[in-house]
Amino acid sequence: MNWWQAVILGIVEGITEFLPVSSTGHLRIVEHLMGFKTQGVGITAFTAVIQVGAIVAAIIYFWKDLVRIVVAWIRGLGSKEAREDPDYTLGWGIIIGSIPVAVVGLIFKEAIEGPLSSIWVVSGALIIWSLVMLVADRRTDLHRGMKEVSLVDAVVIGCFQALAPLFPGISRSGATISAGLFRRFDRETATRLSFFMGIPALVAAGVYEAVGSASAITDAGEIFINGGSGAIGWGPTIIATLVSLVVAYFSIAWLLRFVSSNKFTGFIVYRVILGVVLLVLAITGLMTV
């Protein structure tokens, strides 16, 4: 992988990771256009690792909120009175809501890295999940705020989040935001919950792939997966991760401003158009699957 390819993939990851348009789907498309084997374990590991850059951006952006939640959770462990703090429940919610996606990722790892990463799956998920988002976005009873998050809400959002790695076109943020809207949270709260729920899941996925890749690093500094197939250099991986961090930070700031006064109609239309274009390219053979 060349440095310019790493920069482009980092930009794609940073822009799309937290938008409800499927970052994995976009990375699969761009990687395919660059000539990479999108179902190869090497490029799959690279994709997971550079997501850490985006999630670090989220940690930096929401640092004060995260510290507040962690402190409230720790205090609640030793104090009955402190358990009345909504942030204590939110802390447990983030933990519990992260379990489903971890279980799905481990059980279906081979399928996720193989057949489920095909263009057919990406395009189909982009279109089908857009209908789910449309229904969620048309709800008018969105009145719940962050202080009203319950453990039931966390489980529901977590289960929706678990669908994202199985079908890369769904989008993790698209799944969690839709779940939040179905649970009657206002759009900004649903979007913030998407960020909070995504932090443990994305960090765990990135670290898991990074550790697995590092177990076979050669003296030349290349990442080799499964004995050398699909080599990706550490240099491009680091470049793409840093680029995704910077771009994702500004993407987060923009999205929160956007959802405060807008629906997700534009994202839904974009997803459908992209899905249809991919289907046409796949059917005509212009893009192999």
Going residue by residue through the chain (289 aa), what tens digit of pLDDT does each one get? 788 999 999 999 999 988 998 887 788 778 878 887 655 566 767 877 788 899 899 999 999 999 999 999 999 999 999 999 999 999 999 999 999 988 898 888 778 767 777 888 888 999 999 999 999 999 889 999 999 999 999 999 999 999 988 888 898 899 999 999 999 999 999 999 999 998 888 777 766 666 665 553 333 344 444 444 455 678 888 999 999 999 999 999 999 999 988 999 999 999 999 999 888 888 887 766 5
pTM of the prediction? Answer: 0.84
At 267, the amino acid letter reads F
What's the angle, vertex CA 288, arms to CA 238 and CA 225, rounded to 5? Answer: 35
Q: Are 11 and 247 in contact (CB under 8 A)?
A: yes
Unique residue bearing structure tokens 């987060």: 252
The rounded distance, in Å, linking the Cα atoms of 109 and 116 is 10
The rounded distance, in Å, linking the Cα atoms of 84 and 174 is 31
Distance set, CA 77 to CA 74, 84, 89, 97, 197 (Å): 5, 11, 11, 18, 20
Q: Are 139 and 184 in contact (CB under 8 A)?
A: yes
Q: Which residues of 20-54 are buried (b: 16+ CB within 10 A; e: fewer)?
A: bbbbbbbbbbbbbeeebebbbbbbbbbbbbbbbbb
